Amino acid sequence: MAKKSLIQREKKRQKLEQKYHLIRRSSKKKIRSKVSPLSEKKKMQEKLQSLPRNSAPTRLHRRCFLTGRPRANYRDFGLSGHILREMVYACLLPGATRSSW
């Protein structure tokens, strides 16, 4: 089980990312446009840099739905590898076959 403080920190980052998503997207769009002058691009870059760091989507990290483990997550299930394996062995996932090695 991951520390609860780390899980809460990740949830806070998700909220910040949703809050500033439209502002970040519009400012990036204006920076990339070829029509806008350099002074406007510079202002948009300053606006983009003034946003909180934790609102950037690259700071988000997927976590296991049950344990909060940050590594070895399957996108389809939202679970980490060892939890997924335990669920398959307990026959909780229909259609999944067990492997032994």
Reply yes or no on whether the pLDDT at 2 is more than 90: no
pLDDT at residue number 100: 67
Reply yes or no on whether the pLDDT at 101 is more than 70: no
- Does the domain spanning 62-101 belong to CATH 1.10.150.390? no
Average pLDDT on 61-79 reads 90
d(CA 47, CA 33): 16
The pTM score is: 0.73
d(CA 98, CA 91): 9
Better-predicted residue by pLDDT, 38 or 54? 54
pLDDT tens across 9-45, in order?
Answer: 999 999 999 999 999 999 899 888 877 788 888 888 9
> Which candidate, 93, 70, 89, places its Cα nearest to that of 80?
70
Q: Structural domain boundaries of the chain?
A: 1-61, 62-101
